[in-house]
Chains A and B, each alone.
Chain A
């Protein structure tokens, strides 16, 4: 029995402070199989794997490799046991070529091993010549033999290239060993990481959420390669929280739940429902609601946004679209294709090169309130002739009217707008946008680095947006406290108390606080970036419900997501960004995943072509 098992975890426990990451987890990986480890974020998948490759040392428990107990204190030890891991964030040197990256960090022993292996192989060849052909090897052959051994003895790029090509052929990879890493796409980088591991002789390969950064097409390619590897005897662990992928690729699935082992099932005999139940621990509804769009109206006009970042790269290139109130506009794209810059540009956090952001405030025939304007602004508007008196239906003239009178009129809702208010937001700072009375809420991608302050408690974080209110030089913590209580209550935020620093909470609870705060100001435009990243299933559905609630309220919701299934199920229209350009805007009710996948890679392919041309130019 033990011969069949490549890697075995026995009663692994690991905790960080009061946080328990793994508790008595036992599971095993058979030789030549693809085992999926499924679990929600924070269920301890990555920690468990990090124990296998020596990044963490488990507090309790053992790890067996090929039936023998292993003591793994560092990734180097792990390589000695032929275990390798591909992390979510690649560990490659950008300015080096593929082959240089592969042989980077090989130690003396590695070279010695390599030399021995080569020698054995060449000996075999010579022996073959002697026995089968019945002759002594020629001088050239002997020379070649010596050269190969010499090459494998130390740092040698030729030898590396040869071996890389061999690996590529064996498993069906496509990588150019001479290509620099910074010229590679994400998928190529990932392939290179796998080759790097195989080069070091890895038999057990662990992949941490490998498909998070890939398009559907690239994912398919990766899965093909993984199947090839498994069929040739490599054992593969793939960590993921995407159910459909698990069903597609794996032989067996082991499920972790809140750091504990929840069970293992054979993929053939299971379905999404059962897996979810194992993962969450109870039955759960898996359908995302999408209420029909009711009287949509254009709210935010984006026209020709262009932004060049500090590195001189055009992060946004002529982006135009309209966000409508009462609708969810999904934004799809491979990570770092301009999503962040787009939202930050609209929110006034980055200085745009050109383009217009125009906000339409639906004010036609509606009264002026102090909610958006102060007396001074009302006077200015009246001077422009934009207001009329509700009683007389005549254009309002406020010259010589006392402030007190104006206040009275506003309170009685007598001052009305003629037309919708049109406000130019381009290159306005966040505070200016707020002072204009525009309720633009933004849930940034970086929750603790931008949306919230990790070291502050919940109450203090609630007043980040509103602490300036009032003339007192002191803070008023009363309202934020009520807001915090309300959000904690309604969104079921799990926290010891309101004075807990936000960083001590789990990702889902942090996100609920952030979204709750941003929604609490009843925004006209709500922009959310990756709102469910790192969240468990239940929290994710809470967030989707909140977005739908805002949509029904008439808010223009802009939703940047990474999971295409969710984007397709939740949004009304989907804008696909590719290389900072709008690759297309499609109706989410009619499109398919494949179509979006193609759009996502549209301009990248073009870029690659243009790069190839320039390389040829250089050669000439």
Chain B
């Protein structure tokens, strides 16, 4: 009798939706969800574009590709933008891991660029070119470190809010740059032209005849370095502990103040490197809009990459790709400059939403579930045969590969197992 009662009341008492937490996703599920997100985001972008300019659904993809990979120059440009974004994100990552919300990368990069410009403008001709480049680098890193370490000191000793402080430092930096440009350019146009256009003093050399290659190589090195620093160095370990819990840090005797300041010095140094690359490697000039918001986009890149330097490569590339491709498409469709930002917004939105679906299961009420089932059945009717067809084809292929690779896998497994025999030395109870 009870069972009957349950059935009858089931529909009425269900909440429309309730959430259940899922266990942490596996790596392959995670990356699959990322792939799906990219596809969905692209589709939404295309649909919106189609709504604005009817019939452009296919053209959207075409121009997206044309704007990014149609020539080697464009391809290099994509990688260059990826490199700069990634570098800024890398600079922020140690601070973020420490839960120091440094949103001042914009200012830190800009002030580094100012340092490089000063050296380039006033020391050109007084020393050999190689030394000049080195001085530019040193000065930009020094400037950025100062800019990053001021909020860190205040945070460490007076517990000021680092978010507001670093934000404020951004405005100071752009104000300072605007002031110097104004002073340096006597004609009042407030546009600093290309520095040393004839002698190319202080310009980074072209590697293999390519402009941006040196940036890309730098960023590859820095990515690996930051990854190693965070994962395998004592400093990286300390800053993670400080970020997770300052109480734990005190308990095990980590100097919290020192760690905060040291980490921000690193953060600032990488920002200085970005400023140096922007001035000496790319634009060879300075204006207050040099960084153009990438200091903030870098924050998102770092977050969406879950502070993992290698995952950040992916997010940085995606942002660069969509920005460049989007602005190219936007130009052709005559949508204006905001168009690419709309696309970026859609991408971020879908990505963040995917995290939600990855971590929570939605339980719909019985009614809704029945409705979904109807839809599911419908699709199953259509796609079921296709799926079965593919299965028929690919299962033998899979078996074939398994046959080939399984012995190889076993061989490697054996090889590695021998390498670390677990019984080396028992841990001494002492020490």
Using CB atoms and an 8 Å cutoff, list the residues of chain A in contact with chain B.
10, 15-18, 57, 59, 62, 69, 71, 73, 347, 349, 371, 429-432, 434, 442, 444, 446, 448-456, 460, 463-469, 472-475, 479, 482-483, 485-486, 504, 520-522
Contacts and interface: CB of A to CB of B under 8 A. Distances in A.
B23 A371 contact: no
B363 A59 contact: yes
Contacts of B20: 15-17, 59
Contacts of A460: 237
Given A460-B237, A483-B427, A522-B430, A17 B22 contact: yes
A349 B250 contact: yes
A349 B251 contact: yes
A57 B15 contact: yes
Given A15-B20, A429-B253, A479-B427, A468 B248 contact: no
A51 to B, nearest CB: 12
Nearest to B238: A467
Interface stretch (B5-13, B69-77, B141-149, B335-343): B5-13
B253 A10 contact: no
Nearest to A350: B250
Given A59-B363, A69-B5, 19 more contacts: A10-B2, A16-B21, A69-B6, A73-B15, A349-B251, A371-B431, A430-B253, A449-B248, A450-B247, A452-B248, A453-B240, A453-B245, A454-B244, A468-B234, A472-B234, A479-B427, A482-B426, A482-B427, A486-B426
Nearest to B363: A59
B430 A371 contact: yes
Contacts of A452: 248
9 contacts: A17-B21, A349-B251, A444-B251, A453-B241, A460-B237, A466-B431, A467-B234, A467-B237, A483-B427
A345 B5 CA distance: 61
Nearest to A473: B233
Given A17-B23, A73-B15, A452-B248, A486 B234 contact: no
B406 interface: no
Given A16-B20, A69-B9, A467-B234, A449 B427 contact: no
B15 A465 contact: no
A446 B247 contact: yes
Contacts of B24: 504
Contacts of B232: 474-475
Interface in B157-215: none
Contacts of A18: 22-23
B155 interface: no
Contacts of A474: 232-234
Contacts of B252: 430, 464-465
Contacts of B241: 453, 456, 464
Contacts of B5: 69
B18 interface: yes
B363 A450 contact: no
Contacts of A62: 6, 9, 13
Given A431-B253, A449-B248, A486 B427 contact: yes
B234 A453 contact: no
Contacts of A465: 252
B235 interface: yes
B13 A71 contact: yes
Nearest to B8: A69
A260 B252 CA distance: 39
A431 B241 CA distance: 15
A494 B245 CA distance: 25
Contacts of B250: 349, 430
A1 to B, nearest CB: 12
A448 B244 CA distance: 10
Nearest to B245: A449
Contact of B245 (A450, A466, A475): A450
B285 to A, nearest CB: 39
A482 B420 CA distance: 13
Contact of A451 (B9, B251, B254, B427): B251
Nearest to A431: B253
